[in-house]
């Protein structure tokens, strides 16, 4: 800080120059503080955005796992029914086909609902990330705008 103020103090000489240098330093710090605040808010928003992207990826992965698990469960149930019918000596026919079709229909609906719920959670996370990215940009712009009056004052002090 002293290195920044030394040329200003030496240039003007006296109490007036010291007051101008102090005003200059205070104004510069005020502008820097506003800019640093905007940068900090932007960085924080980027962290939230990255976390939301990761959560969205995890949600999509869970949805795929749910779908695969439900399909494998259905295949296992159908195989168990086939084995049971075969062990009882029953031949495949219209009645057994209707049972299989109904089971496929019910389990397929359950699978689609569970998959949709997981994908909805992933979409929510993705939207949260997009919103955080926008908010970060607004925070950075806000920090720069807050620094505007201080930068204008600095320009006016340098003109004198």
Give the closest residue to 137 by CA, choosing from 35, 46, 48. 46
Query: pTM of the entire structure?
Result: 0.64
- The whole-number pLDDT of residue 119 equals 94
What is the full per-residue pLDDT of the chain (160 aa) written as tens digits? 444 445 544 554 444 455 577 777 777 777 778 788 888 888 888 888 899 999 999 999 999 999 999 999 999 999 999 898 888 888 878 788 888 999 999 999 999 999 999 999 999 999 998 888 888 888 888 887 777 776 677 667 667 6
The residue among 49, 3, 27, 40 whose CA lies nearest residue 142 is 40
Quick one: pLDDT at residue 93? Answer: 82
Instruction: Kindly state the tokens that stand for 131.
Output: 């919103």
Q: Which residues lie below 8 Å from residue 143, measured CB to CB, with a gap of 6+?
A: 34, 35, 36, 37, 38, 39, 41, 42
Q: What is the DSSP string of 51-66?
A: HHHHHHHHHHHHHHHH
- Does an H or E element contain 146, and which? helix 94-159
Name the residue ranges covered by the structural domains of the chain: 19-159
Cα 18 from Cα 116, distance rounded (Å): 68
> Among 40, 39, 67, 63, which Cα is nearest to 125's?
63
């Amino acid at each position: 800080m002293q290195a920044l103020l030394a040329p200003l103090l030496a240039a003007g000489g006296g109490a007036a120059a010291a007051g101008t240098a102090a005003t200059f330093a205070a104004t510069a710090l005020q502008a820097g503080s506003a800019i640093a605040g905007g940068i900090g808010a932007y960085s924080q928003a980027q962290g939230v955005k990255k976390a939301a992207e990761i959560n969205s990826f995890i949600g999509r992965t869970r949805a795929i796992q749910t779908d695969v698990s439900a399909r494998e469960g259905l295949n296992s149930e159908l195989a168990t029914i086939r084995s049971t019918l075969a062990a009882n000596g029953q031949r495949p026919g219209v009645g057994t086909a209707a049972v299989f079709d109904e089971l496929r229909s019910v389990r397929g609906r359950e699978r689609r609902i569970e998959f949709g719920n997981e994908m909805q959670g992933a979409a929510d996370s993705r939207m949260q990330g997009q919103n955080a990215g926008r908010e970060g940009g607004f925070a950075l712009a806000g920090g720069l705008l807050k620094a505007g009056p201080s930068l204008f004052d600095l320009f006016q002090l340098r003109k004198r």
